[in-house]
A = this chain, B = another copy of it.
Amino acid sequence: MRFFSDNTGAASPEILAAIQAANHGLVTAYGNDPWTKRLDECFGAYFGTEVRAFAVATGTAANALSLATLSPSYGLIFADVEAHIANDECGAPGFLSGGAQLCLLPSEHGKVTHAALAAALEAHPASVHTLQPTVLALSQATELGTVYRPDELGALCQLAHEHGLKVQMDGARFANAVTFLGCHPGDVTWRAGVDVLSFGATKNGALAAEAVVFFDPALVRDFELRRKQSGHLLSKSRYVSAQLLSYVESNLWRRNAERTNSFAQKIAHAAGRLLLHPVEANELFLALGPERKRALRQAGFEFYDWGAVSSGKARFVVSWDQREEDVLALCEALRGLHR
């Protein structure tokens, strides 16, 4: 019973069907195919505004390429200390930008706070001797399974823009966030002030498909060249584009997110006071300690330690194809820990 990560999940049947449906005939390569050509329209309809959307195969590519487009080598990127770009991408933003540095902000349950951003901006005035503040990088949902409200985002983006920064959003679990909020996808992106979004599909049921969505088209050419130059333009682009079209247009994004979110809520209810953070997406963080960890593992539950082992913390992630009986078993086991 694996609760390691939503990356352990398979691909949804709808995704394989879309790939299969695209698998006929000779079509122009490198994005000049009927599927890829529809990406802008598809994501424009989804977000309710004109956008430019580009497919890549990994979330790290989506994040690091969009950041490299927004930030020169001497840029300073503000992100929360828990961010995926800081901890799980082997320095990809610094590498693809040629040297930009991350400035990690303290976070509350994985969220950048307005106060922390304001303090960081004050502490980093730009001179020729310093890195130039260029980007605020946010995650929605966050790495701790929490979700920014539209007004929180709006205030952060406004502060960032007032200081000349662009806002990039890591949306690896964007579907979970939108589903949790019950809002329109535009409410937590362009309407709030987000400039570029890494729209993830892989964790939520795709095989390997992420979209970089530009709400400001001015930077698009630079991005396209960076994507190619870093080896991220797929020759047979139809397959990644077909995944994205199916994921968005068939509402797979919402169906899968509703399933994982609701399972996460069940588990959260069972975990009760063991919870370290509010559960607003498909991730749960529990203060277990060594005894409870051992008990759960002996009972067949697989999950990652979170942080140093000595902290006793654990992370559970619900995949779109998690079996309901495993979720119920986990709930039962967690309730058992309270007795």
What is A's interface to B at a CB cutoff of 8 Å?
2, 4-5, 7-11, 16, 19-20, 22-30, 56-65, 72-76, 87-92, 94-102, 122-123, 128-132, 202-203, 207-208, 222, 224-226, 228-236, 239-240, 307-308, 319, 321-322
Contacts and interface: CB of A to CB of B under 8 A. Distances in A.
Given A10-B24, A230-B95, A208 B88 contact: no
B74 A90 contact: yes
Given A10-B22, A60-B233, A91-B229, 10 more contacts: A8-B29, A56-B231, A57-B57, A58-B235, A73-B94, A88-B130, A89-B229, A90-B129, A101-B101, A207-B239
A95 B307 CA distance: 29
A171 to B, nearest CB: 15
Nearest to A224: B128
B89 A19 contact: no
Chain A contact residues: over half helix, strand or loop, or mixed? Answer: loop
A30 to B, nearest CB: 7
State the 10 A-B residue pairs at the shortest beta-carbon distance, nearest first.
Answer: A61-B231, A7-B29, A95-B99, A60-B231, A94-B99, A98-B98, A7-B235, A2-B26, A90-B228, A8-B26
A202 B72 CA distance: 30
11 contacts: A7-B236, A8-B26, A10-B236, A26-B321, A60-B231, A74-B90, A90-B225, A91-B131, A95-B229, A101-B102, A128-B224
Contacts of A128: 30, 90, 224-225, 228, 233
B207 A19 contact: yes
A89 B228 contact: yes
Contacts of A60: 228, 231, 233
Nearest to A3: B26
A236 B73 contact: no
B92 A231 contact: yes
